[in-house]
């Protein structure tokens, strides 16, 4: 399915919004987790290995956004 030329801008905007929204979501989630993790690390530095994966877990959200953005851009043909 290739989108009509007049509609292509909308598809591009949709891709941009997808990425922006998921990036914001990631940032917000990491902010909350990051602050809590630093608090935990201040008390128990040896938790670093456990905390690092928790902090980067939300990174996946923006990756989903990226994939969807590319699927949308694929519609441009």
- Considering only residues 34 through 53, tell me which ones interact with other proteins, judged by CB under 8 A: 46, 48-50, 52-53
Asked if 56 is part of the footprint of other proteins (rule: CB under 8 A), the reply reads yes
Contact 34, 10 (CB under 8 A): no
Comparing CB distances to other proteins, the nearer of 14 and 75 is 75
Nearer to other proteins, 7 or 60 (CB): 60
Which of 63, 75, 74 is closest to 22 using CA atoms? 63
CA 36 to the chain's CA centroid: 20
Rounded to 10 deg, the angle between the 59-74 and 8-43 helix axes is 170
- Residues at the contact surface with other proteins, assessed by CB under 8 A: 46, 48-50, 52-53, 56-57, 59-60, 62-64, 66-67, 70, 74
């Amino acid at each position: 399915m290739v989108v009509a030329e007049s509609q292509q801008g909308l598809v591009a905007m949709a891709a941009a919004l997808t990425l922006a929204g998921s990036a914001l979501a990631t940032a917000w989630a990491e902010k909350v987790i990051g602050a809590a993790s630093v608090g935990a690390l201040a008390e128990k530095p040896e938790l670093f290995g456990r905390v690092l994966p928790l902090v980067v877990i939300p990174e996946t959200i923006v990756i989903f956004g990226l994939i969807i953005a590319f699927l949308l851009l694929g519609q441009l043909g």
